[in-house]
Amino acid sequence: MYEHDVIVVGAGGAGLRAAIAAHEEGADVAIVSKLHPVRSHTGAAEGGINAALREGDSWEDHAYDTMKGSDYLGDAPAVETLCKDSPKETIQLEHWGMAFSRDDDGRVSQRPFGGLSFPRTTYAGAETGHQLLHTMYEQLVKRGIKVYDEWHVTRLAVSDEDDPEDRTCHGIVAYDVQTGKIEGFRARNGVILATGGLGQVYDHTTNAVANTGDGVAMAYRAGAPIEDMEFIQFHPTTLPSTGVLITEGVRGEGGILYNKHGERFMFEYGYANNLGELASRDVVSRAELTEVNEGRGIEDEYVHLDMRHLGEERIVDRLENIIHLSEDFEGVNPLEAPMPVKPGQHYAMGGVETDENGETCITGLYAAGECACASVHGGNRLGGNALPELIVFGKRAGHHAAGKDMKDAEITTGKVGDYEPADVESPVQLGEAGLGGDAVADGGATADLSGDEVVQRALDDERETIEHLLEKEDGIQHAEIRERVQKSMTEHVNVFREEEALKDALRDIREARELYQDVYVADKSRTFNTDLLQTLETRNILDIAESITVGALARNEFRGAHWRKEYQERRDEEWLKHTMLSWNDGEPELWYKPVILEGENKTYEPKIRSY
């Protein structure tokens, strides 16, 4: 068994920042990651980091834009923390050597982004994430922080008291991709989940194949509530054939969207009369699909994004990467022709419920980055607000886990205080992961064990599960199950949602769960067994898909990225609340907790959101 003070699961922007912060506090910290750090998906981020750096801008304006963008489902203490700390953390990156783009006067450049009232998106060409990841990786190497890379974490080692609020996370179990060894890792102080996105729940996504929602699913099965899972961001400009992202920076620099009649539809049809193409992402995605549904799309599928008028010099200077992406993945040279684009799954606003210090309701379990929900993005994330979330909340989680004395959080976690029980009318039974022994809460069996024993017990259970998969001679392969879920989610739980389609998705997920009981791994080898790993990821996809769909079915309103055919308006009287889902003995339980709109100096009164 390996042992460290703090174990960070994941080596993207959030994980690296958390590890550096824990190290700053003197902790013995290690990162365990299924990918080498610089292959993490943060490297794909293109457009930039929002930070109120300039005269004329303020953290208060950034917070206002973020709350408005969230459709008033963000929690003010988290939103204000993000906006106050982002400038400092962005400057820290600059001091560590991040190669930001610069204006002629030498200042770090900033550009407009969707839903922002000030051009506050700081960037490094169209490779901001790549620069950020490499800058922080250098800091990691400089500090000699231990990385177990190509170790796939499959389970959290959490004690199993009845109430999740009484449980403690003592470590993790991970599978060494290179050798096939399954090992326990004991965390003396805490485990920080920084496992990123869950885009593989859909079949058209900007996310990498590694983004299978592992951290969210593992925390959920360990009893940590997951929050606002129904809020999935569909980015308006993805390439139709692959889902590859064309950054919002293109529209930020002045790129224009056209329908098949050459009309600038954002204005022509009144979708966003002020900001047009730079309205927030949910607004632009719905506008594009409305154009397609009303027969004004191109090939009944997509619209055009044109940036030719910006001129080659400016495009090469600020968006060079986009020329390559469009040429390589769609065969279109954007210097000569408009790019075809359509909405694609991009980001999860929800995730593991945390407070402003990254803590969950389980002692010693933290989450940061895209897998966490503090909640900063509420119903819709503004472009450029995810990267600051990584560096702000990654750092806070790292400091807290390492024992730094920090201000008590205002956000509460777990079922405490003012929570509201809920029912959802599901057409099928929910829950039960595909393989036995997945849920941690198995009746208090580990409640009285020492930390080492809890890790050993989790290790034994996980070895059994993996051996079972490797020994089974026939059955169904994960790819078939995964494909069914991805297709159903893309068809039924997309930008436009309606009750019957959501119920169809739940039926499909149920069927997929039943098939998963008979899943087997054809490749019996112990080294680099991607068949086995993807089979394990598929169980996460099942749990995540269900959590998104259940939340979407229950939320009878239209807020942010969640549009419902039957309820086409925001219903603040009933729905100013977070959707919470807890996994109790294999059965998901839905409940709600209130949104916090009271900030430090003001209350964010919900207003009609127009752009």
Ligand X SMILES: Cc1cc2nc3c(=O)[nH]c(=O)nc-3n(C[C@H](O)[C@H](O)[C@H](O)COP(=O)(O)OP(=O)(O)OC[C@H]3O[C@@H](n4cnc5c(N)ncnc54)[C@H](O)[C@@H]3O)c2cc1C
Nearer to ligand X by Cβ, of 41 and 304: the residue is 41
**φ and ψ at 341, to 5 degrees?**
-140, 150
Span interacting with ligand X, options 181-189, 191-199, 504-512, 516-524, rule CB under 6 A: 191-199
- By CB under 6 A, is residue 47 in contact with ligand X? yes
Site string for ligand X, 208-227 (x = CB under 6 A): --xx--x-------------
Shortest distance in whole angstroms from residue 424 CB to ligand X: 28
CB 239 within 8 A of CB 338: no
- By CB under 6 A, is residue 159 in contact with ligand X? no
Question: What does the alpha-carbon distance between residue 551 and residue 547 come to, in Å, rounded to a whole number?
Answer: 6
Q: Return the residue of 27, 83, 226, 386 that touches ligand X, per CB under 6 A.
A: 386
Question: What does the alpha-carbon distance between residue 71 and residue 577 come to, in Å, rounded to a whole number?
Answer: 12
Query: What does the chain come to in residues?
Result: 611
CB 189 within 8 A of CB 310: no
Q: Return the residue of 101, 206, 345, 426 that touches ligand X, per CB under 6 A.
A: 206
**φ and ψ at 355, to 5 degrees?**
-100, -170
Shortest distance in whole angstroms from residue 177 CB to ligand X: 10
Cα-based torsion angle of the residue sequence 497, 498, 500, 504 in order, rounded to the nearest 10 degrees: 0
Catalytic residue among 155, 167, 281, 564: 281
Question: What does the alpha-carbon distance between residue 380 and residue 74 come to, in Å, rounded to a whole number?
Answer: 9
- By CB under 6 A, is residue 201 in contact with ligand X? no
- By CB under 6 A, is residue 390 in contact with ligand X? yes
Site string for ligand X, 292-331 (x = CB under 6 A): ----------------------------------------
Shortest distance in whole angstroms from residue 491 CB to ligand X: 21
Which of 184, 182, 174, 216 has the alpha carbon at shortest distance from 33? Answer: 174
- By CB under 6 A, is residue 152 in contact with ligand X? yes
Site string for ligand X, 110-149 (x = CB under 6 A): ------------------xx--------------------
Per CB under 6 A, contacts with ligand X among 226-265 are 245
Span interacting with ligand X, options 35-43, 58-66, 356-364, 509-517, rule CB under 6 A: 35-43
DSSP state letters, 4-68: EEEEEE--SHHHHHHHHHHHHTT--EEEEESS-GGGSGGGG--S-EE---STT--HHHHHHHHHH
**φ and ψ at 551, to 5 degrees?**
-60, -40
Query: Is the previous residue joined to 375 through a cis bond, with omega within 30 degrees of 0?
Result: yes
CB 413 within 8 A of CB 223: no
Place of tokens 């004991």: 186
Per CB under 6 A, contacts with ligand X among 333-372 are 346-347, 369-371
Q: Return the residue of 5, 6, 7, 15 that touches ligand X, per CB under 6 A.
A: 15
Q: Return the residue of 29, 30, 42, 438 that touches ligand X, per CB under 6 A.
A: 42
- By CB under 6 A, is residue 87 in contact with ligand X? no
Three-class secondary structure of residue 404 per DSSP: coil
Which of 582, 560, 585, 581 has the alpha carbon at shortest distance from 570? Answer: 560
Nearer to ligand X by Cβ, of 16 and 590: the residue is 16
Give the pair of three-digit tokens for residue 205.
């996504």
- By CB under 6 A, is residue 194 in contact with ligand X? yes
Q: Return the residue of 13, 125, 276, 358 that touches ligand X, per CB under 6 A.
A: 13
* DSSP 8-state assignment for residue 199: G
Nearer to ligand X by Cβ, of 84 and 503: the residue is 84
Q: Count interface residues toward ligand X (CB under 6 A).
A: 43
Nearer to ligand X by Cβ, of 371 and 581: the residue is 371
Question: What does the alpha-carbon distance between residue 536 and residue 607 come to, in Å, rounded to a whole number?
Answer: 44
Which residues, 6+ apart, have CB-to-CB distance to 604 below 8 Å? 64, 67, 72, 76, 597
- By CB under 6 A, is residue 190 in contact with ligand X? no
* Cα diameter, the chain: 69
- By CB under 6 A, is residue 21 in contact with ligand X? no
List residues bridging with 421 in a β-sheet.
591
Nearer to ligand X by Cβ, of 424 and 439: the residue is 439
Shortest distance in whole angstroms from residue 462 CB to ligand X: 12
Nearer to ligand X by Cβ, of 32 and 550: the residue is 32
Q: Return the residue of 184, 196, 243, 588 that touches ligand X, per CB under 6 A.
A: 196
Nearer to ligand X by Cβ, of 73 and 246: the residue is 246
Give the pair of three-digit tokens for residue 606.
């919900």
Question: What does the alpha-carbon distance between residue 597 and residue 79 come to, in Å, rounded to a whole number?
Answer: 10
Q: Is 281 a catalytic residue?
A: yes
> Rounded to the nearest 10 degrees, what angle do helices 530-554 and 214-221 cross at?
70
Span interacting with ligand X, options 324-332, 350-358, 385-393, 594-602, rule CB under 6 A: 385-393
Question: What does the alpha-carbon distance between residue 246 and residue 305 come to, in Å, rounded to a whole number?
Answer: 9
Nearer to ligand X by Cβ, of 13 and 236: the residue is 13
- Applying CB under 6 A, the residues found at the interface with ligand X are 9-15, 32-35, 40-42, 44-48, 128-129, 152-153, 194-197, 206-207, 210-211, 214, 245, 346-347, 369-371, 384-387, 390
Active-site residues: which are they? 281
